[in-house]
């Protein structure tokens, strides 16, 4: 009697393998969560966290159960601290932010007391106590309307609590080490990878990650990009679901594709491709620190978007012309209480001291949407609205919450008064009155401090309403900065984090409406004689460079890792022609 084996071979009952056909080569496309190319072998894993078992603890064992919980909690804290130390070598600080959010919960007094009450008062085991404590925390974040970003918060709470449960169940070390096979790199394949698992496997030296989950967790994408771990998400389960440990695989995070059971031709091609990538990176390094000047002599400023002090090393290494966007939310998101004036001043000075005489644009706090502060319970901050992206955020929130706005203004004024080249950027502007109110508050705080430094105030152009009143906004603004990410989202009614909106192949960033809105904003700024820059992802797209520059936008701000490639591209540009010509060429290229 013949039986089919798990790897496709045919076996005879009571005997050995009859035949072992060569595995069939498969290939497909996926969402590239993080760039890079890996030639390796599959290592299938499951989640590190188990479901919390539920049982009653004997009264005589309550103290022992409390001790187990505390020991597991401390072990989880130590694990996160070790991961944070490992991430200090990474230029992008976003992963550290996510881990600090876990640390906040693990050390939260209210959380610890809630678990303790469950163990002592209800005689529930520690696993169950953790689950109940998290369930009671969810209403603080959730309005009951099912917002995706709130579901993400719930996921992160589960992951942080899962760290303790992993230690309670003996899985805190993450299980066995991935084994290299025949010198090949290890590519993890999983149904879905929680955030803690990503860091754990990265620290163990895995080369790449493939997630079968179609809904890519935004925090996992941030993490893999930040630590430079190539990753694909949204793999076709039918094509990849039967992959077994040891199967050959190629993960292509540059072009968003994969090959299972690659043949000799595939291996030769990708080895050459990786070598070419290495040579290209080496050539780009020669552009570090150079000026960015087009062939016809147009000087362009390439700035960096930053959020964490650790990012400054990379910004300086590539020779950026300054900081075009300093996001200030990080200082708030990881704090137990809203940072005061002194804390914010010290935080901003870290960036200013690192960049020296180059300009720094500090954006006022833009809480809301997917940026939730850890202190909202203590300080009374609440987030309401059925659609958080359209709710109380940016300047709308700040004008209603002077306890958030005023200390930040004072800290920024003091930075400017210290002789630094500081600009202040106002997020989510939709009305002239908002800029006027902000300027009035700034004047009041300068008077209170007795400091009157030069401090240009600009409006962030990131919603269509701001574009349509750009001429009026230019009267009350010293500069404009286009936030292309939100501008695209609000113009086209698309969630930029949802890969499904790209599936139909229609243009997103290159939509004619987006191009016209950017042109209108640039025309208003040029007409009023004020500078205009762009700080969204569009700033780093080479195909857009000539168009933006011809519109009058000569300052482009992006992540440090994209500056050298764009500098090389712009230095090869000749700006003869018009922005309309560029748009027509892109339209023709798509056809």
Local confidence band at 585 (pLDDT 50, 70, 90 cut-offs)? very low
Which region holds residue 368: left if phi is over 0, alpha if psi is between -120 and 50, else beta? left
Per-residue pLDDT, averaged over 233-249, amounts to 79
CA nearest to 259, candidates 234, 276, 240: 240
Sign of CA dihedral 374, 460, 302, 549: positive
Centroid of chain to Cα 182? 35
> Residue 173 pLDDT > 80, yes or no?
no
Which tokens in the block code for residue 5? 């084996």
Local confidence band at 391 (pLDDT 50, 70, 90 cut-offs)? low
The full DSSP string for 12-52 is ETTS-EEE-PPPPPEEEE-EEEE--EEEEEEEE---SPPPP
pLDDT confidence of residue 213? 67
Which spans in 88-125 are helix H? 94-106, 109-121
**Residues near 424 by Cβ (< 8 Å), separated by ≥ 6?**
361, 362, 364, 412, 442, 455, 456, 457, 458
Share of the chain above pLDDT 90, in %: 43
pLDDT confidence of residue 94? 58
Highest mean pLDDT among 127-131, 176-180, 339-343, 472-476: 472-476
- With contact defined as beta carbons under 8 Å apart, do 195 and 98 qualify? yes
pLDDT confidence of residue 375? 42
Per mean pLDDT, which range of 62-76, 215-229, 454-468 is the poorest? 215-229
Per-residue pLDDT, averaged over 346-370, amounts to 89
Cβ neighbours of 70 (radius 10 Å)? 15
**Residues near 467 by Cβ (< 8 Å), separated by ≥ 6?**
461, 487, 517, 520, 521
Cβ neighbours of 288 (radius 10 Å)? 14
Residues facing residue 479 across a β-bridge: 458
Local confidence band at 475 (pLDDT 50, 70, 90 cut-offs)? very high
Residue, of 165 and 388, whose pLDDT is higher = 165
pLDDT confidence of residue 379? 42
Per mean pLDDT, which range of 258-262, 298-302, 319-323, 496-500 is the poorest? 496-500
pTM attached to this predicted model:
0.69
pLDDT confidence of residue 140? 56
Share of the chain above pLDDT 70, in %: 74
Residues facing residue 301 across a β-bridge: 555
What's the CATH number for 298-376+388-584? 3.20.20.60
> Residue 281 pLDDT > 50, yes or no?
yes
pLDDT confidence of residue 139? 62
Local confidence band at 303 (pLDDT 50, 70, 90 cut-offs)? very high
Which tokens in the block code for residue 85? 């130390």
Strands in 257-260's sheet, in edge-to-edge order, are: 26-29, 257-260, 248-252, 37-44, 185-190, 208-211, 231-233, 31-34
Residue 87 and residue 226: Cα distance in Å, rounded?
Answer: 9
Q: What CATH architecture is 26-46+191-279?
A: 3-Layer(bba) Sandwich (3.50)
pLDDT confidence of residue 180? 44
> Residue 16 pLDDT > 60, yes or no?
no
Q: What is the pLDDT of residues 539-549, one digit of tens each?
A: 988 999 999 99
Question: Strands 479-482 and 457-461, how do they pair?
Answer: parallel
**Three-state DSSP string of 496-542:** CCCHHHHCCCCCCCCCHHHHHHHHHHHHHHHHHCCCEEECCHHHHCH
Residue, of 177 and 122, whose pLDDT is higher = 122
Question: Strands 323-326 and 299-306, how do they pair?
Answer: parallel
CATH superfamily of 50-169: PtsI, HPr-binding domain (1.10.274.10)
CA nearest to 349, candidates 406, 422, 398: 422
Local confidence band at 31 (pLDDT 50, 70, 90 cut-offs)? confident
Which tokens in the block code for residue 224? 């893999």
Q: What is the pLDDT of residues 81-101, one digit of tens each?
A: 887 777 665 545 556 666 777
pLDDT confidence of residue 147? 45
Cβ neighbours of 344 (radius 10 Å)? 24
Residue, of 451 and 59, whose pLDDT is higher = 451
Local confidence band at 105 (pLDDT 50, 70, 90 cut-offs)? confident
Local confidence band at 450 (pLDDT 50, 70, 90 cut-offs)? very high
> Residue 175 pLDDT > 50, yes or no?
no
What is the average pLDDT value for the chain, to the nearest integer?
Answer: 80
Per mean pLDDT, which range of 158-162, 179-183, 383-387, 435-439 is the poorest? 179-183
Whether 26-46+191-279 shares its CATH topology with 50-169 is answered no
Per mean pLDDT, which range of 321-335, 396-410, 529-543 is the poorest? 321-335
Domain boundaries, the chain: 26-46+191-279, 50-169, 298-376+388-584
Residue 230 and residue 125: Cα distance in Å, rounded?
Answer: 39
Q: Quick check: helix, strand or coil at residue 418?
A: coil
């Amino acid at each position: 009697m013949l039986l089919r084996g798990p790897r496709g071979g045919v076996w005879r009952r009571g005997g050995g393998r009859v035949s072992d056909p060569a595995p069939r080569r498969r290939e497909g496309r996926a969402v590239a969560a993080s760039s890079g190319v890996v030639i390796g072998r599959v290592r299938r894993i499951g989640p590190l966290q188990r479901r919390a078992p539920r049982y009653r603890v004997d009264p005589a064992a309550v103290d022992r159960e409390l001790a187990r919980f505390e020991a597991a909690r401390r072990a989880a804290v130590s694990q996160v601290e070790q991961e944070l130390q490992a991430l200090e070598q990474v230029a992008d600080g976003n992963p550290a932010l996510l881990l600090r959010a876990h640390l906040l919960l693990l050390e939260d007094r209210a959380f610890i007391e809630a678990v303790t009450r469950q163990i002592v008062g209800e005689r529930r085991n520690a696993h169950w106590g953790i689950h109940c404590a998290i369930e009671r925390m969810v209403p603080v974040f959730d309005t009951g309307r099912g917002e995706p970003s709130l579901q993400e918060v719930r996921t992160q709470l589960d992951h942080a609590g899962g760290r303790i449960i992993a230690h309670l169940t003996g899985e805190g070390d993450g299980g066995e080490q991935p084994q290299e096979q025949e010198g090949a790199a290890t590519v993890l394949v999983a149904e879905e990878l929680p955030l803690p698992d990503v860091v754990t496997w990265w620290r163990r030296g895995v080369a790449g990650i493939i997630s079968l989950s179609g809904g890519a967790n935004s925090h996992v994408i941030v993490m893999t990009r930040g630590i430079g771990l190539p990753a694909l998400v949204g793999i076709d389960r039918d094509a990849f679901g039967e992959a077994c440990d040891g199967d050959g695989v190629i993960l292509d995070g540059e072009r968003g594709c994969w090959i299972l059971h690659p043949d000799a031709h595939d291996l030769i091609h990708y080895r050459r491709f990786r070598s070419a990538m290495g040579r290209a990176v080496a050539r780009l390094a020669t552009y570090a620190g150079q000026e960015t000047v087009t062939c016809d002599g147009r000087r362009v400023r390439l700035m960096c978007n930053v959020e964490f002090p650790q990012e400054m090393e990379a910004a300086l290494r590539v020779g950026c012309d300054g900081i075009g966007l300093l996001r200030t939310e990080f200082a708030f998101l990881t704090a137990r209480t809203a940072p005061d004036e002194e804390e914010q001043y010290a935080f901003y000075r870290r960036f200013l001291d690192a960049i020296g005489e180059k300009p720094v644009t500090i954006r006022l706090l833009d809480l809301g949407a997917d940026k939730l502060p850890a202190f909202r319970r203590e300080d009374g901050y609440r987030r309401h609205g059925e659609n958080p992206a359209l709710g109380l955020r940016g300047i709308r929130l700040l004008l209603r919450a002077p306890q958030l706005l005023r200390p930040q203004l004072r800290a920024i004024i003091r930075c400017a008064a210290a002789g630094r080249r500081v600009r202040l950027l106002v997020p989510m502007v939709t009305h002239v009155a908002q800029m006027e109110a902000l300027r009035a508050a700034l004047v009041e705080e300068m008077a209170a401090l007795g400091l009157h430094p030069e401090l240009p105030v600009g409006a962030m152009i990131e919603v269509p309403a701001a574009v349509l009143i750009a001429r009026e906004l230019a009267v009350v603004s010293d500069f404009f900065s286009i936030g292309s990410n939100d501008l695209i989202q609000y113009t086209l009614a698309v969630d930029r984090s949802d890969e499904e909106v790209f599936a139909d192949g229609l243009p997103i960033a290159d939509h004619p409406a987006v191009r016209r809105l950017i042109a209108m904003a640039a025309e208003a700024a040029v007409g009023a004689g004020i500078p205009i820059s762009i700080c969204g992802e569009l700033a780093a797209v080479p195909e857009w460079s000539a168009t933006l520059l011809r519109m009058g936008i000569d300052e482009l701000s992006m992540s440090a890792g994209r500056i050298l490639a764009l500098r090389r591209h712009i230095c090869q540009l000749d700006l003869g022609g018009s922005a309309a010509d560029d748009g027509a060429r892109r339209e023709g290229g798509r056809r």
